[in-house]
Chains A and B, each alone.
Chain A
Amino acid sequence: MTQWLQPNVMALSGNGQLLPSQFPGKAALCSRVGDLRMVKVEPQNRSADDLRRSAQMAAAQAGDRAAYEALLRDCVPLIKVVAVRQGVAADHIDDVVQDVLLTIHRARQTYDPARSFTGWLRTIAERRAIDLLRRTGRQRAREIHSPLAFESYAEETADPSRTAGDAASSRRVNEALAMLPERQREAVQVLVLEERSLAEAAIATRRSKGAMKVNLHRALKALRAKFEGKD
């Protein structure tokens, strides 16, 4: 139900959408009344998008998951723009996005709705992008990038007939994976195939780290038993 409470109050519906207001301004206070959240606003030059994000973040601080999910989705393109501007390579943009989303989650209690959300997000994204550039810079100092040398390197053990064998074993692995229970398959997929850390995998699958470990262990045991039995 939409209900205007005060002229300087913006209402946020239950699904996290900010209801249109003719009183743009500065979000300063958020409280919850029934399924309505009120954001007290003071006049200031902030864009409507920024005000909406501020209100969504204030709602997220109060525990509104729908508003939070909508806000995080809205953040992804903004983070990408910042990462590109900072000079992050295309194949690392997604890493910055994930880092920033995790940082927003960890830092959500520090956000003050009286200040611009977009500015807050931009600063965090810039710092995370710089962190990543430093990390990859260090990596580059240790490793060399020479695609030509890689291409022209003749592997001594190379065997053209192996391609067919590889395809067959890959099919066997896929079949074995398909037969695993869903949670075990998911653990193998995220931790082994996608090479994600335990913490990231736990977040992505919404399971605890302990459960991820247990499922991976069981999956590997099942796979080992299956292949050892066959071979």
Chain B
Amino acid sequence: MTLTPHDRLIRGLAADLKPVRRLPPPLLRAFAWLAAVAAIAIGLAAFADVDAVWQRITAAPDLWLAVFGSTLTAVLAAVAAFELSLPDAPRVWAALPLPALILWIAASGFGCLRVWIAPHTHVAALGEARDCFIFIVSLSVPLSVLLLAMLRRACPLYPGLTAVVGGLAVAAAAASLLNFFHPYDAAATDLAVHAVAVALVIGANRALGGRIFGSPAFTPSDVTADEVAPN
């Protein structure tokens, strides 16, 4: 009896079957990743002048709104990315972080006006802005690796969208953590550098994530000596 291609595939898949541990709910997995971010935050807080950071952030509403916006974006984008990583998740999850993202962009953008409203405040020089860029990008690397590895355990059927939302979570988390070492008021140049860093992180996640999530379904690992023995 000849086997149809479906029969052969089904037999192949059944032969490849190994017990799997069911994934915990996406919300729980998102909080696990956020816990890693929180651990980094606690570590960074040990090196930062927390009182000065607190005074700076609470000095003007746009500053604490921007920090609140970026933190909320990180939390909501992480939840959305883990939801989207399930094969049956609706695409609408990608909209979850949008309100927080708008708040973050709006509050940061409002901060730019400060240069004109209060011209004597200390805005970041180009060298300092470069440090921000390096901070965001280098902190994003371990966060992205962890997030992509965790997302890959599921099976996103919208790989590009999942990677972009994941990248947003990473970039927002890194930008939030930057506040520990950012004794400047927002200015257009500084903000542009942040925006470029965030876009770069999202773009890198999109490129890398799309590739990682789109890799072959599985590779049989049962290579036996018999199969490759000389015939």
Contacts and interface: CB of A to CB of B under 8 A. Distances in A.
Given A72-B10, A97-B6, A107-B154, A112 B22 contact: yes
Given A102-B217, A106-B217, A206 B16 contact: yes
Contacts of A181: 231
B227 A204 contact: no
A211 B16 contact: no
Interface residues on B, range: 35 or more
B64 to A, nearest CB: 38
Nearest to A203: B12
B88 A211 contact: no
Interface of B: 5-6, 8-23, 25, 86-88, 153-155, 157, 216-223, 227-228, 231
Interface majority SS on A: helix, strand, loop or mixed? helix
A208 B223 contact: yes
Interface majority SS on B: helix, strand, loop or mixed? loop
Given A76-B6, A218-B231, A107 B87 contact: yes
Nearest to A97: B6
Contacts of A68: 13-14, 17
A60 B17 CA distance: 8
A207 interface: yes
12 contacts: A68-B13, A68-B17, A72-B13, A101-B10, A105-B218, A107-B154, A109-B23, A112-B25, A120-B87, A203-B16, A205-B8, A214-B227
Contacts of B18: 63
Contacts of A45: none
A141 B157 CA distance: 24
Given A105-B218, A214-B228, A218-B231, A62 B19 contact: yes
Contacts of B19: 61-63
9 smallest CB-CB distances across A and B, nearest first, come from A107-B155, A63-B19, A211-B227, A123-B88, A109-B20, A208-B223, A69-B14, A102-B217, A203-B12
Q: Which of B6, B17, B219 has the most CB of A within 10 A?
A: B17
Interface residues on A, range: 35 or more
A108 interface: yes
B8 A204 contact: yes
Nearest to B88: A123
B155 to A, nearest CB: 4
B84 to A, nearest CB: 12
Interface in A202-226: 202-211, 214-215, 218
Interface string A110-123: 11100000011001
Contacts of A123: 87-88
Contacts of A205: 8, 12
Contact of B11 (A69, A102, A109, A202): A69
Nearest to B231: A181
A191 B231 CA distance: 19
Contacts of A62: 19
B219 A202 contact: yes
Nearest to A130: B157
A46 interface: no
Contacts of B20: 61, 108-109
A12 to B, nearest CB: 15
A67 to B, nearest CB: 9
Interface in A113-158: 119-120, 123-124, 127-128, 131
B190 to A, nearest CB: 41
A170 interface: no
B146 to A, nearest CB: 19
Contacts of A127: 87, 157
A50 interface: no
A230 to B, nearest CB: 21
A124 B158 CA distance: 11
Interface in A57-82: 60-66, 68-69, 72-73, 76
